Amino acid sequence: MFKILEKWEMADNTVCHFKIEAPLIAKKAQPGQFVVLRPNETGERIPLTMAGTDPAQGTIDIIFQVVGKTTALLRTLQKGDAILDIIGPLGRPTHVEKLGTVICVGGGTGIAVLYPITRALQEIGNHVISIVGARTKYLLILEDEMKNVSDEFFITTDDGSYGRHGFVTDALKDLLDERTDIKLVVGIGPVPMMKFVCKTTEPYGVKTLVSLNTIMVDATGMCGACRATVGGKTQFCCVDGPEFDGHQVDFDELMKRQAAYLKEERQSYERFQKEQE
């Protein structure tokens, strides 16, 4: 059992942040790695990338949006409650090196995944430009945190309610037009956003990393549920990823695979909501 030490809600209670006691995982985890958690005996195993760790305190941070039954169920847990199983740290860590100027682009809860990577990229001495975006102002998360680990910082909202009116890719394109010293772009967010980040950077020939949060079961390379086509080859996101060269990823296939259980996910969620009433 893994105890929830702190719980915060953000983005108008659609996004939840847990600080969880997991000393062994906290000691080992590096930016870019994820955990799998199973809330209870009848629960499914879902992967969530860690938003942070505190090895001294023995804690890990996870931030998730309520999108279906499992995340809705997790949200009902309170400080002091426990999660049955947490497995990690899994996946390959981000390869963090000093390159010069890098751009970190985050959308939705992808910003939570991006945050520790951004911090690591800045700590090692890169000039970090961050672009964070959300559909609308109240859905934007970790604004201050991201600002604190960035040398330049931009905000976009789809509806113009905060920061620049438009998509993260609009801000990204302008930066790529203005500057020629961009060595790396890291784009993490919903799959369509990552696809368009890659489309935006491709003509400029700037290497672009994405983090793929696919459907997983064991998440140790045993089942292949998380397979994605990268550079024409099948890769397992759990052990070969989660980060890949975005210009090589077949995003259209990925989106279809992500939607494989939509019907069942809806059924589960509706059933859960009825039970809660």
Partner 1 sequence: MTEKEKKEKIPRQPMPEQDPKKRSMNFDEVPYGYTPELAQKEASRCLQCKKPKCVEGCPVGVKIPEFINLIAEGDFIGAAKKLKEDNSLPAVCGRVCPQESQCEALCVLGKKDEPVAVGRLERFAADYERAQGTVDLPQLPPPTGKKVAVVGSGPAGLTLAGDLIKFGHQVTIFEALHKPGGVLVYGIPEFRLPKAIVEAEVDYLKRLGVEIKYNHVVGKILTVDELLEMGYDAVFLGVGAGLPVFMNIPGENLCGIYSANEYLTRSNLMKAYLFPKYDTPIAVGKNVAVIGGGNVAMDSARTALRLGANNVHIVYRRSKTELPARAEEVHHAEEEGVQFKFLTAPLRYIGNADGWVTGMECIQMELGEPDDSGRRRPVPIEDSNFTLDVDLAVIAIGTGANPIITGTIPNLELNKWGYIVADEATGKTSRERVYAGGDIVTGAATVILAMGAGRNSSQAIHQYLMNKS
Amino acid at 66: V
CA 125 remoteness from chain centre: 23
Applying CB under 8 A, which part among 57-65, 109-117, 187-195, 253-261 lies near partner 1? 253-261
| Only segment of 52-60, 141-149, 198-206, 228-236 that touches partner 1 (CB under 8 A) | 228-236
List the end-to-end C-alpha distance of the chain, in Å, as a whole number: 27
- The conformational region for residue 224 under phi > 0 = left, psi -120 to 50 = alpha, else beta, is left
Asked if residue 242 has a cis previous peptide bond (ω within 30° of 0), the answer is: yes
Considering only residues 81 through 100, tell me which ones interact with partner 1, judged by CB under 8 A: 84-90
Tell me the per-residue interface mask from 37 to 66 with partner 1, x by CB under 8 A, - otherwise: -x---xxxx---------------------
Q: Which of 95, 100, 139, 133 is nearest to 117 (CA)?
A: 95
Least distance in angstroms from the C-beta of 196 to partner 1: 20
Which of 177, 173, 186 is closest to 102 using CA atoms? 186
The window from 20-28, 138-146, 152-160, 196-204 that contacts partner 1 (CB under 8 A) reads 20-28
Quote the longest CA-to-CA distance of the chain.
56
Q: What tokens does 212 get? A: 């793929």
Shortest Å distance, C-beta 177 to partner 1: 35
Shortest spacing between CB 108 and partner 1, in angstroms: 23
Strand 182-188 to strand 164-165: parallel, antiparallel, or no bridges (unpaired)? unpaired
Beta strand pairing call for 152-157 and 164-165: parallel
User: In angstroms, rounded to a whole number, what is the distance separating the alpha carbons of residues 73 and 76?
Assistant: 5
Q: Which listed range, 106-114, 188-196, 202-210, 267-275, lies at the site for partner 1 (CB under 8 A)?
A: 267-275
Check residue 249 and report its DSSP letter: B
| Nearest distance from C-beta of residue 207 to partner 1, angstroms | 24
Q: Which is nearer to partner 1, 81 or 85 (CB)?
A: 85
- Binder to partner 1 among 19, 69, 75, 195 (CB under 8 A)? 69
Residue with the two structure tokens 């993490």? 188
- The count of residues interacting with partner 1 (CB under 8 A) is 41
Q: Is 67 in the site for partner 1 (CB under 8 A)?
A: no
Q: What tokens does 252 get?
A: 């259209």
Q: Is the Cβ of residue 177 or residue 233 nearer to partner 1 in the bound state?
A: 233
Contacts of partner 1 in 167-226 (CB under 8 A): 217-218, 220-225
Pick 74 or 171: Cβ nearer partner 1: 74
CB of 111 to partner 1, least distance (A): 25
- Opening angle at CA 185, ends 183 and 188, nearest 5: 165
Instruction: Tell me which stretch binds partner 1 (CB under 8 A): 9-17, 79-87, 170-178, 205-213.
Output: 79-87
How many residues are given for the chain?
Answer: 277
Interface residues with partner 1 (CB under 8 A)?
24-25, 28, 38, 42-45, 69-70, 84-90, 217-218, 220-225, 227-229, 234, 239, 253, 256-257, 259-261, 264-265, 267-268, 271
